[in-house]
């Protein structure tokens, strides 16, 4: 159909160079996880914890608060609730980590043991990855952003990452949703159907911890204890650039950017 070919050519190239240097990640203005500054935190105050529906912020015994970004749904209500500015808006969204503990805010940026993850990953997969996605009860927000990865702007294919319909051809099981009672069986069956070596990504806050939607009579609380997770990617939902970062992090083509709940400059987390 030449008219569409001509039309397509006239649109020009819109794919971004990102994550290569100089590319636009397309997330201008998008808010990430609220940044926490314990120096600003007033003791005896519980306003942030009271404003946090998924209990990402909880009170510490003896004062202060615990912050677990693996439970955060980025509603930003804590930023408004905090009277002393300990929580501030940020654009920190590239929060993929290999160890769940790294999503919990810690005083020092500590690297958990066993960080080096299967060293052979690059050797085995080269620079390519085939992904089987399983929706285990998401709100469709994560799917919307995963589908966006294949639009011409992000053009995931150019990075060697493909979605595959069969678990038998898949290297990575990418799971969204808190895992409903009905999807637990099909999810485990998809994992069983994958050849070794295989990897698992908990994508979105629901899959990391249940978020606001987990628990209750019909849901679990994400993948913890259900499958061996290699990458945790919280976010409600993670934006397409965050997905790309987490996928490339798995392939060891990009460094992890978060340790102990701190976002680091590129390179620090290597």
**What's 42's DSSP letter?**
P
In order, the DSSP letters of 108-176 are S--PPTTTT--TTHHHHHTT-EEEEEEESS--SHHHHHHHHTTSTTT-GGGGTEEE-S-GGG-SEEEEE
177 part of the interface to other proteins, by CB under 8 A: yes
Using CB under 8 A, which of 38, 63, 83, 216 touches other proteins?
216
Which residue from 115, 223, 133 is spatially nearest to 171, judged by alpha carbons? 133
Residue 157 or 270 with smaller CB distance to other proteins: 157
| Shortest Å distance, C-beta 222 to other proteins | 12
How many residues appear in the chain? 270
Using CB under 8 A, which of 34, 70, 96, 211 touches other proteins?
211
Q: Residue 134: exposed, middle, or buried by beta-carbon count in 10 A (0-12, 13-18, 19+)? A: buried
CA atoms within 13 A on the CB side of 177: 21
**Whether 267 contacts 252, CB under 8 Å:** no
Q: Which of residues 60-79 bind other proteins (CB under 8 A)?
A: 73-77
Q: Stretches 97-105, 108-116, 214-222, 252-260: which one binds other proteins (CB under 8 A)?
A: 214-222
Residue 180 or 256 with smaller CB distance to other proteins: 180
19 part of the interface to other proteins, by CB under 8 A: no
238 part of the interface to other proteins, by CB under 8 A: no
- Residue 58 β-bridge partners: 66
Q: Stretches 62-70, 96-104, 108-116, 216-224: which one binds other proteins (CB under 8 A)?
A: 216-224
Q: Stretches 40-48, 58-66, 142-150, 252-260: which one binds other proteins (CB under 8 A)?
A: 142-150
The token duo for 197 is 């070596």
Which residue from 121, 145, 125, 124 is spatially nearest to 133, judged by alpha carbons? 145
Using CB under 8 A, which of 85, 115, 157, 181 touches other proteins?
181
Size of the site for other proteins (CB under 8 A): 66
11 part of the interface to other proteins, by CB under 8 A: yes
Which residue from 190, 84, 99, 58 is spatially nearest to 136, judged by alpha carbons? 190
Q: In angstroms, what CA-CA distances link 85 with 32, 51, 69, 185, 226? A: 17, 14, 18, 44, 37
239 part of the interface to other proteins, by CB under 8 A: yes
222 part of the interface to other proteins, by CB under 8 A: no
Question: In the complex, which residues of this chain contact other proteins (CB under 8 A)?
Answer: 1, 3-5, 7-8, 11, 14, 26-31, 51, 53, 73-77, 80, 89, 133-148, 150-154, 163, 165, 177-178, 180-183, 185-187, 190, 211-213, 216-219, 236-237, 239
């Amino acid at each position: 159909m030449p008219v569409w070919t001509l039309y397509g050519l006239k649109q020009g190239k819109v794919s971004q160079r990102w994550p290569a240097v100089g590319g636009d990640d397309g997330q201008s203005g998008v808010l990430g996880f609220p940044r926490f500054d314990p120096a600003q935190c007033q003791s005896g105050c519980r306003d942030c914890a009271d404003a946090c529906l998924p209990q990402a912020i909880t009170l510490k015994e003896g004062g202060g608060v615990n912050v677990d970004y693996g439970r955060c749904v980025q509603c930003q209500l804590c930023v408004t609730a905090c009277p002393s500015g300990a929580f501030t808006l940020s654009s920190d969204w590239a929060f993929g980590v290999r160890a769940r503990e790294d999503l919990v805010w810690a005083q020092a940026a500590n690297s958990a043991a066993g960080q080096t993850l299967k060293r052979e990953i690059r050797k085995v997969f080269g620079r390519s990855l085939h992904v089987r996605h399983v929706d285990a009860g998401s709100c469709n927000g994560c799917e919307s952003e995963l589908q966006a990865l294949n639009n011409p702007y992000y053009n995931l294919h150019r990075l060697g990452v493909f979605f595959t319909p069969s678990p038998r051809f898949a290297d990575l099981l990418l799971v969204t949703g808190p895992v409903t009672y009905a999807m637990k069986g099909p999810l485990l069956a998809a994992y069983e159907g994958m050849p070794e070596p295989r990897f698992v990504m908990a994508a979105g806050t629901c899959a990391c911890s249940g978020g606001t939607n987990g628990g209750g009579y019909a849901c679990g609380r994400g993948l913890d204890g259900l499958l061996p997770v290699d990458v945790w990617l919280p976010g409600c939902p993670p934006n397409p650039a965050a997905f790309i970062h987490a996928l490339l992090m798995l392939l060891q083509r990009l460094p992890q950017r978060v340790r102990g709940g701190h976002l680091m400059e590129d390179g620090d987390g290597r």
